[in-house]
């Protein structure tokens, strides 16, 4: 697929065709900037966990090496959601598309495949999600803490909002409510 | 301490300064003078800012974001503001879009000039360090004139900026920029035409284009390896879509891309010139109008407290792409906030840069990505199971001695 002919709708359609039952909650956001109202576009969708790795592989079909920015994540109670932030088509003025891919993981077994075999630069972000949210990245090449100090208990995950969150470690900081 | 073999020895460097965003600890495996393996550990002083940000209201969190990084004290709160504005569908006034560019480019000039001084210091050119500090001082004075502050500027507001640039302020900006142009020309000559700097920096700390892409490098680190990647151009935010400029890669000056330390110097120095030009374009074209979408803070908070949604804010900070993600749930504070500073993405590219290089090159290679960490606190040399403490000054002296050897 050549970059010149690809619209955000084409990219979304390509994922929907490749994973007919795997893509949900699609959203294309169009915003503008400056007096010329230059448009930029953010594409969002959820992908089923079982298709996630193949969906990341699918990013490579758009000719250019995809840029991985970071993974965000949050605790929704029964599930933990990870938002993988990619972008496509950099290097050509005004054509870059931000692509945000969300996977929803059940709290009782929050596991997802590593993408470091496809994008080695994702390692630190995957390590961070493991230690902050208590998710398991299957196949991660360096299964070690990266930001959280060694003296923080192994069963405390700072971004969790349940009993495994940081509440019991917090003192004198907004009363420790999480 | 990791194991020591008979033919190699380990050098751990760090952990380093606790006030910095991303403290780093290197473990080098050395054979003679040559680095044959590198491991990087992070997070010795993680401050939990993202967690703390979910305990504050939408205005308070801007000031927290401003304190993520002393040098990028504009990019972080502004990226956060961009993310919130997108989640809340707030349209920023045109004049504010131009003002935002001016402040962003002033921050880039101050940062790149500071970096040039640090890079020169790392290889023993302290006279250049003092020259850059003199130039940077004029830029900080201008920032103070425009915002009221030199470092933590307090200029960001969701929906715009907090202070206008009035007609009376414009001549002072032009004068500083004219002076700056002369000083930058001098800096260009000193740093790019000096044969010793070329000997120390050419073919040193090479990052190939392929590695830059695979390891997700950003900013001047990526562009110096030939990756045309700049958020200002790729996905124009603020008023960058109105302005005339191009991607800065080293071949613009030299006709070739080597991806070495010298190319990173070229990219940053060219970008200082580019930033001056962008500010001048903004001053010439700036439309009249409001500087913020909603000037009344209680009204803004009342609106934001009802918003449900998510958004991302991306900016081309001096070191590369800054990325903020927010999730709002109709509450008085963020439900989730993820901050990704450019150094986060430029850590892994350090590894291929350092492999095969000499110990004396560690300071300049480490500095060449302009990391959010500054000092090498101390080094322990372990050879034949005997430890020797070497402090940062000694490591720095090794670098200077190498420069002197090359001059002879």
Q: What is the CATH number of the domain that holds A133?
A: 3.30.460.80
- Taking Cα atoms as reference points, which of B105, B122, B76, B35 lies closest to residue B370? B122
Low-confidence residues of chain B: pLDDT under 50: 17-22, 373-387, 389
A63: pLDDT strictly greater than 90: no
Cite the DSSP H helix spans in A25-82: 49-59
Q: Compute the average pLDDT of residues A146-171.
A: 86
First vs last C-alpha separation in chain B: 38
pLDDT digits (tens, 9 = 90+) for A79-127: 999 999 999 999 999 999 999 999 999 999 999 999 999 999 999 999 9
Contact B215 A90 (CB under 8 A): no
Residue ranges, comma separated, of all CATH 1.10.645.10 domains in chain B are 49-344
Percent of chain A with pLDDT over 70: 93
pLDDT digits (tens, 9 = 90+) for B227-263: 999 999 999 999 999 999 999 999 999 999 999 999 9
| Radius of gyration over every alpha carbon of chain A, rounded to an integer in angstroms | 18
What pLDDT, on a 0 to 100 scale, did the predictor assign at position A152?
Answer: 85
pLDDT digits (tens, 9 = 90+) for B348-370: 998 899 999 988 888 888 888 88
B201 in contact with chain A, both atoms CB, cutoff 8 A = no
Residue B239: list chain A partners with CB under 8 A: 33-35
Residue A87: list chain B partners with CB under 8 A: 234-235
Determine contact, residues A174/A164, Cβ cutoff 8 Å: no
Count of domains forming chain A: 1
Dihedral angle over CA of B219, B224, B227, B232, nearest 10: 40
What pLDDT, on a 0 to 100 scale, did the predictor assign at position B2?
Answer: 59
User: How far is C-alpha A74 from the geometric centre of its chain's CA atoms?
Assistant: 11
At residue A40, the 3 state secondary structure works out as strand
Distance CA B350, CA B221 (A): 10
- Taking Cα atoms as reference points, which of A12, A98, A72 lies closest to residue A47? A12
Nearest residue in chain A measured CA to CA from B87: A29
Distance CA B358, CA B30 (A): 9
A4: pLDDT strictly greater than 70: no
At the top level of CATH, the class of B9-45+346-407 is alpha beta
At the top level of CATH, the class of B49-344 is mainly alpha
Percent of chain A with pLDDT over 90: 80
Contact B234 A100 (CB under 8 A): no
Which residue of B242, B287, B325 is in closest CB contact with A83? B325
- Taking Cα atoms as reference points, which of A166, A69, A57 lies closest to residue B51? A166
**DSSP 3-state percent helix, strand, coil across chain B (nearest 5):** 50, 15, 35
The two structure tokens encoding residue B79:
């990226």
Residue A44: list chain B partners with CB under 8 A: 310
Distance CA B399, CA A66 (A): 37
Residue A115, Cβ density class (10 Å: 0-12 exposed, 13-18 middle, ≥19 buried): buried
Distance CA B224, CA A169 (A): 44
Which of 213-242 (B) contact A at CB < 8 A?
A: 213-217, 227-229, 231, 233-242
Q: For residue B232, give how far its alpha carbon lies from the nearest alpha carbon of chain A (Å).
A: 9
The two structure tokens encoding residue B196:
């010793």
What pLDDT, on a 0 to 100 scale, did the predictor assign at position B1?
Answer: 57
Q: Which range of residues forms the domain containing residue A136?
A: 3-176
B348 in contact with chain A, both atoms CB, cutoff 8 A = yes
Residue ranges, comma separated, of all CATH 3.30.390 domains in chain B are 9-45+346-407
Residue B101 to residues A125, B92, B241, B354: CA-CA distances in angstroms? 30, 13, 11, 35
Global ipTM: 0.94
What pLDDT, on a 0 to 100 scale, did the predictor assign at position B20?
Answer: 36
Angle between helices A49-59 and A8-18 (to 10 degrees): 130
What pLDDT, on a 0 to 100 scale, did the predictor assign at position B381?
Answer: 36
pLDDT digits (tens, 9 = 90+) for B292-343: 999 999 999 999 999 999 999 999 999 999 999 999 999 999 999 999 999 8
A8, A26, A34, A178: best to mutate for the B interface, most B CBs within 10 A: A34
């Amino acid at each position: 697929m050549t970059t010149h002919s690809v619209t955000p709708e084409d990219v979304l359609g390509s994922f929907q065709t490749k994973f007919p039952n795997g893509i949900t909650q699609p959203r294309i956001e169009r915003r503008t900037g400056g007096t010329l109202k230059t448009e930029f576009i953010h594409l969002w969708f959820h992908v089923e966990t079982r298709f996630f790795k193949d969906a990341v592989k699918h990013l490579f079909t758009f000719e250019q090496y995809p840029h991985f920015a970071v993974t965000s994540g949050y605790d929704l109670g029964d599930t933990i959601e990870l938002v993988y932030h990619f972008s496509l088509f950099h290097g050509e003025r005004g054509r870059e598309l931000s692509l945000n891919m969300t996977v929803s993981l059940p709290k009782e077994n929050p596991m997802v495949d590593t993408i470091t075999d496809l994008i080695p630069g994702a390692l630190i972000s995957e390590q961070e999600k493991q230690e902050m949210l208590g998710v398991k990245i299957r196949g991660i090449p360096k299964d070690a803490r990266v930001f959280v100090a060694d003296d923080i208990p192994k069963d405390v995950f700072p971004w969790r909002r349940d009993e495994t969150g940081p509440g019991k470690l917090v003192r004198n900081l907004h009363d420790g409510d999480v | 301490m990791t194991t020591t073999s008979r033919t190699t020895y380990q050098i751990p460097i760090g952990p380093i300064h606790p006030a910095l965003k991303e403290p780093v600890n290197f473990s080098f495996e050395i054979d003679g003078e040559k680095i044959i393996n590198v491991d990087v550990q992070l997070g010795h002083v993680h401050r939990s800012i993202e967690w703390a940000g979910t305990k504050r209201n939408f205005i308070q969190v801007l000031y927290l974001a401003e304190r993520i990084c002393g040098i990028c004290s504009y990019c972080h709160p502004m990226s956060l503001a961009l993310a919130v504005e997108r989640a809340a569908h707030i349209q920023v006034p045109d004049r504010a879009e131009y003002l935002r560019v001016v402040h962003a480019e002033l921050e880039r000039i101050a940062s790149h000039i500071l970096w040039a001084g640090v890079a020169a210091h790392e290889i023993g050119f302290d006279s250049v360090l003092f020259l850059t500090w003199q130039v940077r001082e004029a830029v900080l004075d201008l920032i103070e004139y425009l915002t009221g502050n030199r470092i933590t500027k307090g200029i960001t507001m969701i929906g715009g900026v907090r202070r206008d640039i009035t007609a009376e302020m414009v001549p002072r900006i032009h004068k500083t920029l004219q002076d700056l142009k002369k000083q930058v020309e001098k800096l260009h000559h000193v740093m790019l035409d000096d044969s010793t700097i070329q000997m120390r920096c050419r073919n040193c700390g090479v990052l190939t284009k392929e590695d830059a892409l695979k390891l997700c490098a950003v900013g001047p680190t990526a562009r110096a390896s030939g990756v045309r990647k700049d958020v200002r151009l790729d996905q124009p935010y603020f008023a960058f879509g109105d302005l005339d400029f191009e991607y800065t890669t080293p071949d613009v000056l030299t006709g070739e891309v080597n991806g070495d330390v010298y190319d990173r110097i070229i990219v940053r120095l060219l970008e200082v010139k580019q930033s001056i030009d962008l500010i001048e374009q903004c001053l010439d074209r700036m439309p009249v109008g409001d500087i913020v979408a909603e000037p009344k803070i209680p009204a803004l908070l009342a609106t934001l407290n009802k918003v449900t949604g998510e958004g991302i804010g991306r900016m081309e900070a001096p070191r590369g792409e800054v990325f903020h993600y927010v999730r709002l749930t109709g509450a008085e504070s963020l439900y989730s906030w993820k901050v990704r500073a450019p150094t986060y993405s430029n850590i892994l590219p350090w590894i291929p840069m350092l492999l095969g290089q000499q110990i004396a090159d560690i300071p300049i290679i480490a500095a060449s990505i302009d990391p959010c960490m500054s000092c090498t606190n101390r080094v322990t040399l372990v050879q034949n199971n005997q430890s020797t403490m070497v402090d940062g000054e000694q490591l720095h002296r090794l670098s200077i001695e190498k420069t002197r050897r090359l001059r002879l």
